[in-house]
Amino acid sequence: MAGQRADDNGKTVRIGTRGSPLALAQAHEVRDRLVAAHGADIAVEIDVISTKGDRIIDRSLSQIGGKGLFTEEIEERLTDGRIDIAVHSSKDMPTKLPEGLALSCFLEREAPEDAFISHKVSKLSELPKGAVMGTSSLRRRAMLLRLRPDLQIVEFRGNVQTRLRKLEEGVAEATLLAVAGLNRLGMADVAASVFDLEEFLPAPGQGAICVESRIGDERVDRLLSPLNDADTATALACERAFLDALDGSCRTPIAGHAAVGADRIDFHGMILSPDGKQWHACRESGRLDDAAALGRACGNRLRAEAGDAFFADWGGSG
């Protein structure tokens, strides 16, 4: 079946996705946009696929393998033709994809910022000394400790609802969630406050839904073309090139955000030690058609500036 479409009558598009409420909301958004663009010419089905990252929730991502944990099973079905496209959060995607697959479409980006969530205080600076903060993200951990080295960080795996429940149960006094995810779930009011991008850089790709498909599938490319947002694709080309230059995965505290203007792109990137005590940052601006080269140059610059010893402490970049 390898290389065949999931539906050979040319009308059905089968979407593969994880089964969390947020993943389903993202898949439904892609479905709705496909139907809006093509109407009665297509039928869209959603195939919910369990991934290793969803099943193993008692350990951090860095301990069990990194970003690919949320994509491997989905990509297997995409490669062999059981699904036509896969819908992902861009920040979950490794920079190296399986042979024959590509990120072929980016929906218009939602808010890239992180939200501060707490029932006790409204922002990070108001937490008492030694407060317990819950997160499973090495980037968020490092960024938090950079700002507040007194904090105690505890592991907080699971989907949005699971993490909010842990907060209710008192496992931690506060946590962080992506603003985009809360918005897509209709839960924006959960945020006590939102971090400024200058203070707290997001993960590369945060807030952007991407669609993965088979290279050379002209039918799918044609169907996805109206959904692709050029500005988001440009920003992600920059951010993912930065990540790729640093060999980044969920095992590495890397942050970065590209802002796209009318004819220029502005990028701000950072790498941190896991304890937040050391960091290196870069800022660069350039032409839109140089987005990927700009991101890669920033990544290479930080790698050279930090030196090999800095990366050795990460325990492998996966």
* Residues designated catalytic: 92
Q: Using an 8 Å Cβ cutoff, are 247 and 268 in contact?
A: no
Name the burial class of residue 263, with classes exposed (0-12), middle (13-18) and buried (19+) by CB atoms within 10 angstroms of its CB. exposed
φ/ψ (deg, to 5) at 253: -80, 95
Q: Using an 8 Å Cβ cutoff, are 85 and 16 in contact?
A: yes
Nearest to 237 by CA among 170, 305, 298: 298
Rounded distance, CA 241 to CA 261, Å?
19
Enumerate residues 6+ apart whose C-beta is below 8 A from 225.
105
Tokens 């809006």 -> residue = 36
The three-class DSSP label of residue 280 is strand
For residue 316, the number of C-alpha atoms closer than 13 Å in the C-beta half-sphere is: 6
